[in-house]
Each structure stands twice: as structure tokens, then as C-alpha cells.
Amino acid sequence: MTLSPEEMKKVYDIQRSMHQKFRHVNSIYGEPLPYLGRLFIVHEGVFWPSKDSEALVKNYAINPGEEVCDVCTGSGVIAVHSAWKGAKKVVALDINPNAIKSTLENSKYHNLGDIIEARQSDVFSALKSEERFEVVTMNPPFTDHKKEVGDYAELTVWDPALHVQKSFFDGLDRVLKHIPTARAYVTQASFGAIDEMVERADKTGFSVQEIGKNVVDDLRTFYAFELRRKK
Ligand SMILES: C[S@@+](CC[C@H](N)C(=O)[O-])C[C@H]1O[C@@H](n2cnc3c(N)ncnc32)[C@H](O)[C@@H]1O
């Protein structure tokens, strides 16, 4: 699933224009955005909820009362959907402090402040050692690309040296409860590190099953996967 160098150049240009958009948001109020018919606020440097997460949001399942950890939460859009699907508690994690601010505002706006907790975190680093979840969700930065400006806007779509992907698979078995229904839902893209994800899942004891996809154009297809411990 590899794009040619010319195609990847087009992807990087699209991503650079996304970074510019994410940087230029009202510094006090943020930007209200529609996503699947609901409103979400994003602050400066935060990823705008978009087509990349739709295959996941439309196809993943949460059983009533489950506890969920949403890594790379951004505006908190997946955390909010997990609460709407019935989660009892959602811990939302992101490296960007403005993502935490956006997630807290969106949780409050949608009356989910008592269900969603948000913490600044490098992948799972802010979880307490004893915290375990039935479900982990993640819509990560897809592309292994080195920093150019070096701000949080770039880390929305670029994952230098696949740090996020590596840390996710290093921590997943510890963070997921050891029960048969435990699972993770993860997105990836036609231009991203899918093969690396499948390899890391396999090496850390997880099977990968596609649960949905969203074809945007010739360059960009977004996928949603369910990961479970191999039997
Ligand atoms: C593609 S965005 C997804 C945002 C949101 N979940 C959504 O679906 O709209 C990726 C997110 O990963 C976050 N991120 C990047 N590196 C991270 C890290 N090391 N630890 C935690 N979050 C990180 C970014 O700040 C960004 O919010």
C-alpha cells in the first residue's frame, strides 16, 4: 500500500496546508466546526475533526458501562462519541495542551463532563500504573515525517520515527483489561504506516481486522481497524 514519491509529495503539501489552517484559529474562542451533524470547538494548533475518523466513528461499538481510553484525542471527538455510545468513563489523552482544553470544552458543551476526563500525555504516559480499560481508541498522526516547524500543528498528522505508533503498541497489552471482550479501535490511511501497524500488532500479540473505510480521493483512503488479543 505504498504511494509513489510524487503522490507522497502531494500528500505532504495537503498536510502542510492543514497545519496552516490549524494554526490560524481565534486565540480566545477557537473555531466551532460541524462533524457528523454535531458541533465541536478546536483551539489553536488542534486537529479539526474530519473524514479520517469517520470510518471508525461510524463502525465501532461500545457496550454500555465500558471504560474507554482515547489516545490522540485532539478535539475529543472520539471520546465524545464513546460517551454517546454508552461508555461509563472515558480518559482522553493528547500531547497538545490545547487539545486538552478543546476536549474539556467539548465534553462540557455536550453535557458529558462527568464521563470524560482529559489529560496531557505522551501516548499512555499520563495513565496511572493501575488504570485498565475495556476499550482503547486512537486516530493517530499517520505519516512518518520529520518535524519542519516543530509545533503541535505538525504533530496532528506527522509522527516522526513513528514514536506514537511504537509507544501505543509498547503499552497496549498493559492498558487493556485481560478479558475476552477487550479491544482497540485504530485508524490508518492509504498514505500512512499501515504495514508497520499490522507488523507491530502481530509482534505484540494482536490480530487486526478492518471494520470500515472512507475513500476520499485517489490519494486518500482512511481505514478503521479492530484489534484483539490473538487466541
Ligand atoms: C489525526 S489527530 C486526531 C485527533 C482526533 N482524535 C480526531 O479524530 O479528530 C492526531 C492527534 O494525535 C496527537 N498526538 C501527536 N503526538 C502525540 C503523542 N506523542 N502523544 C499523544 N498524542 C499525540 C495530536 O496532538 C493530535 O491531536
- The reply to whether ligand 1 has any atom less than 6 angstroms from the CB of 148 is no
Q: Whole-prediction pTM value?
A: 0.98
Yes or no: say if 49 and 77 are a contact pair by the CB < 8 Å rule: yes
- The reply to whether ligand 1 has any atom less than 6 angstroms from the CB of 189 is no
Question: The domain spanning residue 138 has which CATH number?
Answer: 3.40.50.150
pLDDT at position 179, please? Answer: 97
Query: pLDDT tens digit string along 145-190?
Result: 999 999 999 999 999 999 999 999 999 999 999 999 999 999 999 9
pLDDT at position 231, please? Answer: 87
- The reply to whether ligand 1 has any atom less than 6 angstroms from the CB of 122 is yes
When divided into structural domains, the chain yields a total of 1
pLDDT at position 66, please? Answer: 98
Give the whole-angstrom CA distance, residue 207 versus residue 229. Answer: 6
- The reply to whether ligand 1 has any atom less than 6 angstroms from the CB of 94 is yes
Dihedral, CA atoms, 140, 228, 124, 212, nearest 10 degrees? Answer: 20
* Atom 17 of ligand 1: nearest residue by CA position: 95
Ligand 1 atom closest to 164 (CA): 19
Query: pLDDT tens digit string along 70-121?
Result: 999 999 999 999 999 999 999 999 999 999 999 999 999 999 999 999 999 9
Query: pLDDT tens digit string along 16-37?
Result: 999 999 999 999 999 999 999 9
Give the whole-angstrom CA distance, residue 123 versus residue 120. Answer: 9
Q: How many Å lie between the centroid of ligand 1 and the Cα of residue 230?
A: 27
Average pLDDT, the chain: 97
SS3 217: coil
* Atom 9 of ligand 1: nearest residue by CA position: 49
Domain that holds residue 96: 5-229
Yes or no: say if 96 and 45 are a contact pair by the CB < 8 Å rule: yes
- The reply to whether ligand 1 has any atom less than 6 angstroms from the CB of 164 is yes
Instruction: Indicate whether 5 pLDDT > 90.
Output: yes
- The reply to whether ligand 1 has any atom less than 6 angstroms from the CB of 154 is no
- The reply to whether ligand 1 has any atom less than 6 angstroms from the CB of 153 is no
Ligand 1 atom closest to 52 (CA): 8
Cell 486512537 appears where? 138
